[in-house]
Amino acid sequence: MTDTILGNARIILPTEIVEGSLVLRAGKIAAIEPGPTRHAGAIDCHGDYVAPGLVELHTDNLERHMTPRPGVDWPHANAIIAHDAELAGVGITTVFDALRIGSEVMVSAGKPRYNAYARKMASEILQMRAKGALRISHFLHLRAEICSETLPEEIDAFTAEERIGIVSLMDHTPGQRQFSDLTQLRTYMKGKHQMSDAEFDAHIARRQGLGDRVRAAHTAAAVTGAARLGAILASHDDTTAAHVATSHAHGVRIAEFPTTLEAARACHAAGIAVMMGAPNLIRGGSHSGNVAASELAAAGVLDIMSSDYIPAALLMAAVALGEQAGDMAYGMRTVTQAPARATGLDDRGAIALGLRADVIRFGVVSGAAVVRGTWAQGQRVA
């Protein structure tokens, strides 16, 4: 096979940046050569950064392609291909596609608001992967909604052979965690779902009643299901030290979007990696009024970034973190090595000899990260 050589580059290693060339061979990183390139056929990167491909643990992007407009169910094969291509284009080479499990017969305008879809969608993703239609590496992330009616049977439909990498424990019962502020939730629900005050009050009462009835049983089902599937556990929206203690008791390894500095510090004390949303960092704060990612970074308790709902935000956030800290290698670790290690993917996430040749080339123009090339296992995919 012909080598791919990226020369005249600033190569971002786990703890430093070296100027030189990177050699990709047979899907692996074959050499890191400081100084001017000695290879006539090298790609001249003109001083751009060369970094590991980004590792995305939590993205809602696929759902956006599945339902591009309210009520529109786009053909799923096309949605998967578009999602995959978009991620490759912004430098993501490994993704854990987030699929919600746990539906609710919540009638709105005569129709259920939340329908079960994860089992069918997961099969379609795996089929597209098996047929070689996807550019990057796809795993599955099951977002287990505790406050639901169908969680146990939905998680039971998955098997250990289906690349389920993460099961996250989500409890969106109103009045706690992300939705502690009911006034803010009222504004959100009335705006998004055109609820009247009476409809909102009925919604809150019904949801809180459902959460109280099923919380213990559904949490147990999700924890047991994750163990059966060989997936790591993640918590979601931990707010208090008590939440973190419960997460730790369940064996949680990643805390998705803790809402307070108290919770993030408790996670670190318990050995749980803290993940925050890249849009939070870029915008300068949470759209829900929760703790800012920048505050956690300043406190030394931010480990992993996720693009959440904007794929391009992942590299933007890594660059912003690197520039703020004066350490680009640190910024890149939050979107490469840290998420890879947290999910047990020891074959990627860093530029080191013998690892997968998942690599990106990017520049920074007027403060914006510009991806100029993406390679997955040494093959250019964007």
Place of tokens 């990612």: 293
Question: Is residue 187 over pLDDT 80?
Answer: no
Q: Where are the domains of the chain?
A: 53-347
> What would the 3-class secondary structure string for the chain be?
CCCEEEEEEEEECCCCEEEEEEEEECCEEEEEEECCCCCCCCEECCCCEEEECEEEEEECHHHHHHCCCCCCCCCHHHHHHHHHHHHHHCCEEEEEEEEEECCEEEEECCEEEECCCHHHHHHHHHHHHHCCCCCCEEEEEEEEECCCCCHHHHHHCCCCCCCEEEEEEECCCCCCHHHCCHHHHHHHHHHHHCCCHHHHHHHHHHHHHHHHHHHHHHHHHHHHHHHHHCCEEEEECCCCHHHHHHHHHHCCCEEECCCCHHHHHHHHHCCCEEEEEHHHHHHCCCCCCCCCHHHHHHCCCCCEEECECCCCHHHHHHHHHHHHHCCHHHHHHCCCHHHHHHCCCCCCCCCCCCCECCEEEEEEECCEEEEEEEEECCEECC
Residue with tokens 């990643």: 254
User: Which residues are CB-contacts of 197 (< 8 A; sequence separation ≥ 6)?
Assistant: 186, 190
CA atoms within 13 A on the CB side of 20: 13
- Domain formed by 53-347, architecture: Alpha-Beta Barrel (3.20)
Average pLDDT over the chain, rounded to an integer: 91
| Integer Cα distance of 51 and 364 in angstroms | 13
Q: Are β-strands 111-114 and 104-108 bridged in parallel, bridged antiparallel, or unpaired?
A: antiparallel
What amino acid is encoded at 81 in this protein? I
Q: What tens digit of pLDDT does each residue of 271-311 get?
A: 999 999 999 999 988 866 789 999 999 999 999 999 999 99
pLDDT of residue 218: 94
Pairing of strands 4-12, 43-44: parallel
Q: For the segment 81-123, what is each residue's pLDDT rounded down to a tens digit?
A: 999 999 999 999 999 999 999 876 655 544 445 678 899 999 9
Query: How far is the C-alpha of 9 from the C-alpha of 1, rounded, in Å?
Result: 23
Burial zone of 242 (CB within 10 Å; 0-12 exposed, 13-18 middle, 19+ buried) = exposed
The pLDDT of residue 193 is: 63
Question: Which residue carries 């006034």 as its tokens?
Answer: 183
pLDDT digits (tens, 9 = 90+) for 17-61: 999 999 999 999 999 999 998 888 899 999 999 999 999 999 999
Q: What is the pLDDT of residue 185?
A: 64
Phi-psi domain of 120 (left: phi exceeds 0; alpha: psi -120 through 50; beta: other): alpha
> Which range, of 11-15, 160-164, 186-190, 237-241, averages the lowest pLDDT?
186-190
pLDDT tens across 203-227, in order? 777 777 777 888 899 999 999 999 9
Tokens, residue 112: 């259920």
Q: How far is CA 76 from the centre of its chain?
A: 20
Distance CA 118, CA 197 (A): 32
C-alpha span between 78 and 148 (Å, rounded): 29
